[in-house]
Amino acid sequence: MSASGLPKTAAVLGPDGLQALIAALAARGMEVIGPVERDGAIVLDRIAGIADLPAGRTDRQEAGSYRLADRDDGALFGYAVGPQSWKRFLHRPVETLFRVRRIGQELAFEPPRETPPRTAFLGVRACELAAIAIQDRVLLGGAYVNTEYAARRAQTFLVAVNCGDPAATCFCTSHDTGPRAHSGYDVALTELLVDGRHEFLAEPGSDSGAALLAYLPTRPATAADWAAAAAVAARAAANMHRRMPSEGLKETLQAHPEHPRWEDVGQRCLACANCTMVCPTCFCTTIEDHSELDGLGAERVRRWDSCFAGDFSYVHGGAVRTQTRSRYRQWMTHKLAHWWDQYGTSGCVGCGRCIAWCPVGIDIAAEAAAFVESSKREEDAHGIA
Amino acid sequence: MARPRLAVIKFASCDGCQLSLLDCEDELLAVAGAVEIANFPEASRAVHPGPYDVTLVEGSITTEHDAARIRAVRDETAVLITIGACATSGGIQALRNFADVGEMVRAVYARPDFISTLATSTPISAHVKVDYELRGCPIDKGQLLELVSALLAGRRPVLPSHSVCVECKLASRVCVMVAHGTPCLGPVTHAGCGALCPGYHRGCYGCFGPAETTNTATLAAQWQALGASRRDIHRAFRTFNAASEPFCREADAHG
Ligand code: SF4
Ligand code: SF4
Ligand code: SF4
């Protein structure tokens, strides 16, 4: 029994139950955001009901390529993660921090923040829950709290969906962040398509999640439902073939800042910054000040920045990282190595976005593997243990 | 404090960038309130002599006469800003740099002997010191207003030199290269347009010229993997910023 006295037992709902779930969230004053098909991809946007979900659609993802395709089982969540992550709703791409007006000799500061609307995210994958937990740690966990993120995060209700059909770019099993959600959600759904039935196993993860489920048309979950859900997760894990090396990766990356592999990848990389923009854990921003023509008004804006941009490492006199190889090294060593020292976790959750959405298909998992492999060869050759 | 005196001077160009200034309908009164428009023939017949505090220069240098005129413009202004691809990199007319101008003149004009022109179209920076450059064919009016208001406030203008891809992602666009297989110049192109073309399912045309870091060779190889021919690649790099060094080099490699 939970603190509220509600039983935290799983329930099973049909498509009408899912429709009722969306309606119930809306009735509680929440804006519901979920997956929708647009411009040849599955993106995240406002949804009014299950009719907005990409029914019977799936994705085929490879390094540098993403295509939608049909599937014949009518699944509502039969695809992996798309180009956008939930980062764009919590840690927004562009955010006005304050506006200021000069009135006579006085400066009047106007914080633009009202309380953000209550928002429900529907269809959050396990890797994305892990990414949100990482951003919570980075943006809320230290001495300097990102107040805009904090305000939005406090208003967020998370409906997870366990993955049944990972993309070829996925590798959450390497980081133990999926394909099944273990924590950090209010409700977790597993889509069950067995024997011609279309249902969802719904597990509450919080008191408010349990309260919501109690309100919906459901039936109790049986042992067969649990077995079907376990089979979905097992199939997803078995279909995931990409791997990020873990053994010795941090130490190897940190020990070889001048490894020739950096130049090699630097030759292939465009320094376009797409990887950092799509990564659900990348959090870097810059601050821009704008003023109005009349000299009476100004505003301060925060926007996503990237370690691939030259201006990112600009200090008086010039940029520190002028070469693409040093920018790629910064991104990869921070994400996969220094992040451990800084936050006690890897900065990668294995979502595969940076692989699919790199216009030239640079693959962070393959780069890491090649790096470990060639450093090992080098050490063997030099007799280093 | 007296309002800064502004001049807008034209060289070889189509006037599109000056039109972007006139296109600032909502902000035009504020601009006119903040600066004294002393010399802007496209907007007003009242032309007041220099010196000026700020001069916006449109167009490239294609004649001996203009090469002398830009030096006089520089002498008359405190701050010189080039607006658009012509003034910043030589413009579409820099295609002459890769051809025989005499032949072109004979093909186009009934009396070629009346035409006195240089063999090349060159950016303003090849002739005089430039203080700020606004990219684009045409420029983005938001960037123009940003630069003018920054100068008025004495602050640094916000004109990032990263790729169009960053703007594309900030605007939540779906990448046309990855999701549709459409060749796009965004990864090597300077930001400023807000990723306009990808928003209409088109690849970026490179109007804003090279970004701060450009790996055109790797991008060209990916274009080829997507089915673009050598000629497609040559032509894509040989447009409004044909004479900018990275684009010129890549076009040559596929010539
Ligand atoms: S580094 Fe790549 S795979 Fe890892 S979390 Fe970021 S986008 Fe996903
Ligand atoms: S790794 Fe790919 S997406 Fe990232 S900056 Fe390089 S080319 Fe762009
Ligand atoms: S559509 Fe073009 S500009 Fe946008 S991310 Fe893709 S490659 Fe970059």
Q: What is the DSSP string of A122-140?
A: EEE-HHHHHHHHHHHHHHH
Q: Which of A272, A290, A361 sits opposite B163 (nearest CB)?
A: A272
For ligand 2, atom 3, name the residue with the nearest CA: A358
- Both A233 and A257 in one domain: the answer is no
Q: Per the domain annotation, does A72 fall within a domain?
A: yes
* Neighboring chain B residues of A88 at a CB cutoff of 8 Å: 172
Distance from CA of B65 to the nearest CA of A (A): 35
- Both A205 and A281 in one domain: the answer is no
Q: What is the pLDDT of residues B169-184, one digit of tens each?
A: 999 999 999 999 999 9
Q: Per the domain annotation, does A284 fall within a domain?
A: yes
- Both B38 and B145 in one domain: the answer is yes
Q: Is A268 near ligand 2, meaning CB less than 6 Å away?
A: no
Last residue of a domain, one of A193, A211, A238: A238
Predicted local distance difference test score (pLDDT) of residue A176: 93
Closest ligand 1 atom, residue A349 Cα: 5
Can you tell me the mean pLDDT for B223-233? 98
Give the position of tokens 């034209």: B10
* Neighboring chain A residues of B178 at a CB cutoff of 8 Å: 64-66, 83, 356-359
Ligand 1 centroid–CA A380 distance in Å is 30
**Residues present in chain A in total:** 385
| Complex-level ipTM | 0.95
- Both B109 and B216 in one domain: the answer is no
Size of the A and B interface in Cβ pairs below 8 Å: 137
CB contact under 8 A, A272 and B187: yes
User: DSSP label at A91?
Assistant: S
The answer to whether A63 touches A275, Cβ cutoff 8 Å, is: no
Give the position of tokens 């001996």: B64
Per-residue pLDDT of chain A (385 residues), as tens digits, is 344 444 458 999 999 999 999 999 999 999 999 999 999 999 999 999 999 999 999 999 999 999 999 999 999 999 999 999 999 999 999 999 999 999 999 999 987 777 899 999 999 999 999 999 999 999 999 899 999 999 999 999 999 999 999 999 999 999 999 999 999 999 999 999 998 999 999 999 999 999 999 999 999 999 999 999 999 999 999 999 999 998 889 999 999 999 999 999 999 999 999 999 999 999 999 999 999 998 899 999 999 999 999 999 999 889 999 999 999 999 999 999 999 999 999 999 999 999 999 999 999 999 999 999 888 787 777 655 4
Predicted local distance difference test score (pLDDT) of residue A8: 56
Residue A291, helix vs strand vs coil: strand
Q: Per the domain annotation, does A244 fall within a domain?
A: no
Ligand 2 centroid–CA A266 distance in Å is 10
- Both B89 and B192 in one domain: the answer is no
Answer with the residue of higher pLDDT: A87 or B28: A87
Predicted local distance difference test score (pLDDT) of residue A6: 42
Strand residue runs (E) in chain A: 11-13, 31-38, 41-46, 57-62, 65-70, 94-103, 106-110, 119-124, 156-161, 187-194, 197-204, 219-220, 285-291, 297-304, 314-315, 318-319
Give the position of tokens 């000299």: A295
Distance from CA of B72 to the nearest CA of A (A): 29
Cα distance between residue B30 and residue A264, in whole Å:
51
Residue B239, helix vs strand vs coil: coil
Across chain B, mean pLDDT equals 95
Predicted local distance difference test score (pLDDT) of residue A4: 42
- Both B175 and B114 in one domain: the answer is no
Distance from CA of B74 to the nearest CA of A (A): 25
Q: Is A358 near ligand 2, meaning CB less than 6 Å away?
A: yes
Residue B190, helix vs strand vs coil: strand
Predicted local distance difference test score (pLDDT) of residue A5: 41
User: Strands A197-204 and A11-13: what pairing?
Assistant: antiparallel
* Neighboring chain A residues of B250 at a CB cutoff of 8 Å: none
* Neighboring chain B residues of A57 at a CB cutoff of 8 Å: none
- Both A152 and A298 in one domain: the answer is no
Residues 6+ apart with CB under 8 A from B27: A293, B145
- Both B225 and B180 in one domain: the answer is yes
- Both A224 and A348 in one domain: the answer is no
- Both B89 and B173 in one domain: the answer is no
- Both A52 and A189 in one domain: the answer is yes
Q: Searching chain B, which residue's CA lies closest to the CA of residue A303?
A: B170
- Both A113 and A179 in one domain: the answer is yes
Q: Per the domain annotation, does A130 fall within a domain?
A: yes
Strand order in the sheet with B5-10: B36-39, B5-10, B52-58, B77-83, B132-134
Give the position of tokens 């408010």: A208
Tell me the residue range of the domain where B175 lies. Answer: 164-253
- Both B148 and B169 in one domain: the answer is no
The answer to whether B202 touches A309, Cβ cutoff 8 Å, is: no
Last residue of a domain, one of B97, B123, B153: B153
Residue A374, helix vs strand vs coil: helix
**pLDDT of B8 higher than 70:** yes
- Both A233 and A273 in one domain: the answer is no
Residues 6+ apart with CB under 8 A from A81: A125, A127, A128, A167, A170, A351, A352, A353
Q: Per the domain annotation, does B158 fall within a domain?
A: no
What tokens appear for B193 in the block? 């347009």
Q: What is the pLDDT of residues B117-171, one digit of tens each?
A: 999 999 999 999 999 999 999 999 999 999 999 999 999 999 999 999 999 999 9
Q: Per the domain annotation, does A3 fall within a domain?
A: no
Question: What is the CATH classification number for the domain harbouring B89?
Answer: 3.40.50.700
**pLDDT of B86 higher than 90:** yes
Cα distance between residue A248 and residue A337, in whole Å:
10
Ligand 1 centroid–CA A173 distance in Å is 13
Last residue of a domain, one of B134, B153, B172: B153
3-state DSSP of B88-140: HHCCHHHHHHHCCHHHHHHHHCCCHHHCCCCCCCECHHHCCCCCEEECCCCCC
Q: Is A271 near ligand 2, meaning CB less than 6 Å away?
A: yes
B176-B142-B130 Cα angle (round to 5): 105
- Both B36 and B97 in one domain: the answer is yes
Q: Which of B30, B33, B165 sits opposite A274 (nearest CB)?
A: B165
Ligand 1 centroid–CA A348 distance in Å is 5
Structural domains counted in chain B: 2
H or E element, residue B49: none
Choose among B77, B76, B101: nearest CA to B12.
B101
Cα distance between residue A90 and residue A21, in whole Å:
22
Q: Per the domain annotation, does A4 fall within a domain?
A: no
- Both B126 and B198 in one domain: the answer is no
CA distances from B65 to A71, A328, B12, B69, B116 (A): 67, 48, 11, 6, 9
- Both A269 and A214 in one domain: the answer is no
* Neighboring chain B residues of A40 at a CB cutoff of 8 Å: 174, 179-180
H or E element, residue B28: helix B25-34
- Both B127 and B15 in one domain: the answer is yes
Q: Is B96 exposed, middle or buried (0-12, 13-18, 19+ CB in 10 A)?
A: buried
Least confident of A326-335, B4-13, B27-36, B81-90: B27-36
For ligand 1, atom 5, name the residue with the nearest CA: A348
Structural domains counted in chain A: 2
CA distances from A337 to A244, A275, A348, A372 (A): 13, 17, 10, 13
B136 touches A: beta carbon within 8 Å: no
Last residue of a domain, one of A238, A265, A288: A238
Q: Is A357 near ligand 3, meaning CB less than 6 Å away?
A: no
Answer with the residue of higher pLDDT: A113 or B115: B115
- Both B139 and B169 in one domain: the answer is no
Q: Is A269 near ligand 2, meaning CB less than 6 Å away?
A: yes
User: DSSP label at B199?
Assistant: G
Q: Which of A277, A304, A308 to mutate to test the pocket of ligand 2 (most atoms within 8 A of CB)?
A: A308
The answer to whether A360 touches A281, Cβ cutoff 8 Å, is: no
Q: Per the domain annotation, does B159 fall within a domain?
A: no
Q: Per the domain annotation, does A104 fall within a domain?
A: yes
Q: Per the domain annotation, does B216 fall within a domain?
A: yes
- Both A277 and A138 in one domain: the answer is no
Give the position of tokens 């000026």: B52
Ligand 3 centroid–CA A39 distance in Å is 13
- Both A105 and A86 in one domain: the answer is yes
Tell me the residue range of the domain where A107 lies. Answer: 11-238
Closest ligand 2 atom, residue A273 Cα: 5
Q: Per the domain annotation, does A6 fall within a domain?
A: no
Residues 6+ apart with CB under 8 A from B133: B81, B82, B87, B88, B125
Q: Is A335 near ligand 1, meaning CB less than 6 Å away?
A: yes
Q: What are phi and psi of B7, to 5 degrees?
A: -125, 150
Q: Which of A270, A289, A293 sits opposite B219 (nearest CB)?
A: A270
Predicted local distance difference test score (pLDDT) of residue A2: 40
Q: Per the domain annotation, does B226 fall within a domain?
A: yes
Q: Is B124 near ligand 3, meaning CB less than 6 Å away?
A: no
Q: Which of B30, B146, B213 sits opposite A294 (nearest CB)?
A: B30
Last residue of a domain, one of A208, A238, A268: A238
Q: Is the peptide bond before A15 cis (omega within 30 degrees of 0)?
A: no
Q: Is A349 near ligand 1, meaning CB less than 6 Å away?
A: yes
- Both A218 and A340 in one domain: the answer is no
Q: Per the domain annotation, does B54 fall within a domain?
A: yes
Distance from CA of B68 to the nearest CA of A (A): 33
- Both A132 and A234 in one domain: the answer is yes
Note the pTM of the prediction, 2 decimals. 0.95
Predicted local distance difference test score (pLDDT) of residue A79: 98
Last residue of a domain, one of B105, B120, B153: B153
What tokens appear for B144 in the block? 């123009």
Q: Which of B169, B175, B223 to mutate to test the pocket of ligand 3 (most atoms within 8 A of CB)?
A: B175
Q: Which of B167, B169, B176 to mutate to test the pocket of ligand 3 (most atoms within 8 A of CB)?
A: B176
What tokens appear for B71 in the block? 């030096």
Cα distance between residue A350 and residue A347, in whole Å:
9
